[in-house]
A and B are shown apart, each in its own frame.
Chain A
């Protein structure tokens, strides 16, 4: 087993063998989660705090469940309503929390890099649950696990990521992870939703969705944020669906056994046709949610092992 990280801040610092380590362990947790008795006490006695500075139901629930299934004491802090509104800085919040001696800190923040900053100030393991437009590592890991289980491998696959790449941390983490594991990554979307410098990412970029989907193994759709639909980035919702919404006709260009993924929550009829999302032969969207819990259990388990391996420093 190889996993040397103190935190899980992003995919960028991970070595491919570390990614494989997480996925292998997550696979075993996925099996365990399907049994009647799902508990394992590897995190017993440890405190996990979920700090969400940005609204989230699904990711927070997934982390909470993962912690509870491993026996951690889990606390949720909705940071939107808390002292941040009273003008407390992120670092003060971090120091306050640190004084409560948590072991695992799960953080989501609307600003890129905020989780890195927080991790510098605490002496517990920090998991990035999404920071601005930067990274969302557990999402990329759960996507990778889903692909590996569906396709039997996680290399030499042709994978298309479609939609709002520019504003998506999910896309960034996925581009990095899939690249590290030696897959061919294609990005599909209108140029207004492509990040700058995308030509230097080692990916292929397509503006025509049909051309981009040709013969791919995996179609990964991204959520289009409502606030991007008002004419600033794309002319309208219906034009977007017409050109970049995944329907049966466009999916026909992909391989016949291509799987369809979506990080959720979906906008049916905007980026994805409802019939495709529900097609159990193609869509692995429900499996993604399931793998989310397993991957987060694995990540927290591994981080806790590293945490226990080093003596606990007491910061005054």
Chain B
């Protein structure tokens, strides 16, 4: 393979937290050299003139739902892979909340085979923590880990039985397996579709107190003190959960936290007149919560931003709000939506990519997510300012349930490379 030289780039380095002009040499699917300024390209290399645009490590998106097996009409590995490529995402970490759930090495192998065949990006599968995601018996964590599962999660279901969860954490600890949990007190949040408060009451929708998140997080933190397991919260979305997270980290527990892009860019009022594309799990929060969570990402308390990509077809969304399915697609809108935070000067680009690329990669023990020699050449080239109107019918995802339909966004992906191969953009 010919060397590729990315000249005239604005390098976004999330490890050094720098944003400066530079160039990058890719050799044998890896980053070989990183240069500051504008050095002359080597003779033999294929030169890509970045035109001063941003070059960053490709996004590692933890918690992507690809609806295979079970609901391929909503999203397949091919469509999700192409959508990811278009969104500058070079690794998708897939959720096991398919039908059936990914809870045996056999189903995991199916996922890996399908991904290998159809997806242009890296696919790292997660497996369920309990069989059928039922919260009763733990899955074969060891066998699943050997088969390639990078983390164990029941996705949006909370393991309500504390004994079951503590055993699963203890067992996972012995294998140093990563457990990813959703924090939402199951009793308090039962039946809720929005966050309680004035808006929920005005709309007459069943609400859950934002406190339900902290309650579940507090329980899990106590279990971590008992078990010393490696643990990640999929989404921290409320201000009140942040002090608990901060304390747990300070006390040296092996805890990290993520947040979905929609909770960073939208609030509960966006539901407006029962718009079901804004029905998410957990539900959208107040503006104060949103601002607190954005700040926590900028400060590094919340480690990871992900798309929480959840494809739903029109039939499951065109229903009265309480009956409609939760979730939104996000692969293609993750970066432009996140750029809203940059343009609002709430976070800078290196810190944004720390949350999008570096931290998730570290969490999963990968070498990607950084602009360093010997790291895999997973890269995204984007124009941070290019404005556009999002038209959901143009999305590459099979499902079009984006809350950003018709939204004005800035930030366009010009090219995506996986292992030095261009999978998006014109050569």
Contact = CB atoms under 8 A, between A and B. Distances in A.
Interface string B310-332: 00000100111111000000000
Contact of A172 (B197, B202, B315, B323): B202
Contacts of B207: 196
Task: Tell which of B205, B315, B319, B320 has the most Cβ of chain A within 10 Å.
Answer: B320
Interface residues of A, number: 25
A201 B198 CA distance: 7
Interface in B311-367: 315, 318-323
Given A196-B197, A196-B201, A198-B201, A111 B323 contact: yes
B205 A113 contact: yes
B181 to A, nearest CB: 26
- What range describes how many residues of B lie at the interface? 20 to 34
B408 interface: no
A180 B367 CA distance: 61
A113 B273 contact: yes
Contacts, number: 73
A112 B204 CA distance: 6
B321 A111 contact: yes
B319 A89 contact: yes
Interface string A96-130: 00000000000001011110110000000000000
B322 A132 contact: yes
B205 A91 contact: no
A196 B196 contact: yes
B198 A90 contact: no
B320 A200 contact: no
B396 to A, nearest CB: 26
A252 interface: no
Contact of A135 (B204, B205, B315, B322): B204
A12 B272 CA distance: 13
Contacts of A195: 200-201
A200 B274 CA distance: 20
Contacts of A198: 198, 201
A163 B203 CA distance: 19
Nearest to A115: B320
Given A90-B320, A91-B318, A132-B322, A113 B274 contact: yes
A196 B202 CA distance: 10
Contact of B319 (A90, A132, A135, A196): A90
Contact of A196 (B200, B315, B318, B320): B200
Nearest to A112: B204
A113 B318 contact: no
Nearest to B197: A197
Interface in A178-233: 195-198, 200-201
B199 interface: yes
Nearest to B323: A111
A69 interface: no
A91 to B, nearest CB: 5
A198 B207 CA distance: 13
Nearest to A201: B198
A134 interface: yes
B104 interface: no
B405 to A, nearest CB: 15
Contacts of A169: 204
B209 interface: yes
Given A134-B203, A172-B204, A196-B209, A111 B322 contact: yes
A164 interface: no
A133 B204 CA distance: 4
Interface in B166-223: 196-207, 209
A310 to B, nearest CB: 22
A197 B202 CA distance: 9
B234 to A, nearest CB: 25
Contact of A132 (B197, B199, B204): B204
Interface in B268-322: 273-274, 315, 318-322
A263 to B, nearest CB: 16
Contact of B205 (A89, A109, A112, A117): A112
A64 interface: no
A131 B320 CA distance: 10
A166 B200 CA distance: 11
Contact of A89 (B206, B273, B315): B315
Given A89-B318, A111-B323, A113-B205, A197 B274 contact: no
A131 B315 contact: no
B274 A112 contact: yes
B301 to A, nearest CB: 27
Nearest to B201: A195
Contacts of B320: 90, 109, 111-114, 117, 132
Task: Tell which of A90, A113, A114, A134 has the most Cβ of chain B within 10 Å.
Answer: A113
Nearest to A198: B201
Contacts of A12: 202
Nearest to A113: B274
Closest CB pairs A-B (n = 5)? A197-B198, A134-B204, A133-B204, A113-B274, A195-B201
Given A131-B204, A196-B196, 11 more contacts: A12-B202, A89-B319, A90-B320, A113-B274, A113-B321, A132-B205, A132-B320, A132-B322, A196-B201, A196-B207, A200-B198
Interface of B: 196-207, 209, 273-274, 315, 318-323
7 contacts: A90-B319, A91-B319, A112-B204, A112-B205, A196-B198, A196-B209, A201-B198
